[in-house]
Amino acid sequence: MDHALPEPDRIEGPPLLWAAVGAVPPVLLNPKHHRLQLADVGLDQAPAWLGIDRALAAAAAWRLSSGMGLALDRGVLVADAGTVLSLTLLDASGAFLGGQLVPGLQLQLAAMGQGTVGLPCLTGSSDPGIDRFPQDTAAAMRQGVASSLLGVVRQARERSGAELWLSGGDAPVLAHALKERSIPFHHDPDLVLKGLVNKS
């Protein structure tokens, strides 16, 4: 499959609204399109260093929670489980309170494989399986990393008391573990996109 640079000029219709974290190919820096900036999200108290993806997901989770009539007196906690597990906490008024950043599932597995002599470099499935204490090394690595991520999310939820939202590619691993423990949460894999669509 050929993965060429995008050609936004080929898209007909109104100017594009887009956001990015990190470096952007020059071909996308077209003055007729609008790159969404952190200030455009409208997340109160958001520090200048906050990633646009975190801001969009948090704003979307807040909006969805409000629309569902959820009790927001303790705020909203978004756990975006991707390359990095980012936790973003909003207060009862929807303002940014803070968060945590933890290496995600694949990053932790890669660190173990690259940082040790005896452990393999794992790729592929993130599923930790059902055995809590596996005998197989790869399964033990996956289970350990999944348990560590679950512990971070669980503790953040307990400390904040906030409505918990899951998003990101590894969210299903966390969702399964949270369900097993009867910990309430909402899962929406499209929180960042919903935040972006709301701004267009």
CB 75 within 8 A of CB 164: no
Q: Where are the domains of the chain?
A: 44-199
Closest CA relative to residue 192, chosen from 66, 52, 70: 52
Closest CA relative to residue 79, chosen from 171, 181, 151: 171
Which residue is associated with the tokens 């958001």? Answer: 46
Residue 1: band (very low, low, confident or very high) from pLDDT cuts 50, 70, 90: very low
190 counts as catalytic: no
- Read off the pLDDT of residues 89-105 as tens digits, 9 standing for 90 and up: 999 999 999 999 999 99
Percentage of residues in the chain with pLDDT exceeding 90? 68
- CA 25 – CA 79 distance, rounded (Å): 28
- Read off the pLDDT of residues 143-163 as tens digits, 9 standing for 90 and up: 999 999 999 999 999 999 999
Instruction: Burial-class residue 53 by CB neighbours within 10 Å (0-12, 13-18, 19+).
Output: buried
Query: Is 44-199 CATH 3.30.420.40?
Result: yes
Catalytic position from the list 53, 80, 91, 170: 53
- Read off the pLDDT of residues 13-53 as tens digits, 9 standing for 90 and up: 666 667 777 777 776 666 666 778 889 898 999 999 999 99
pTM assigned to the model: 0.86
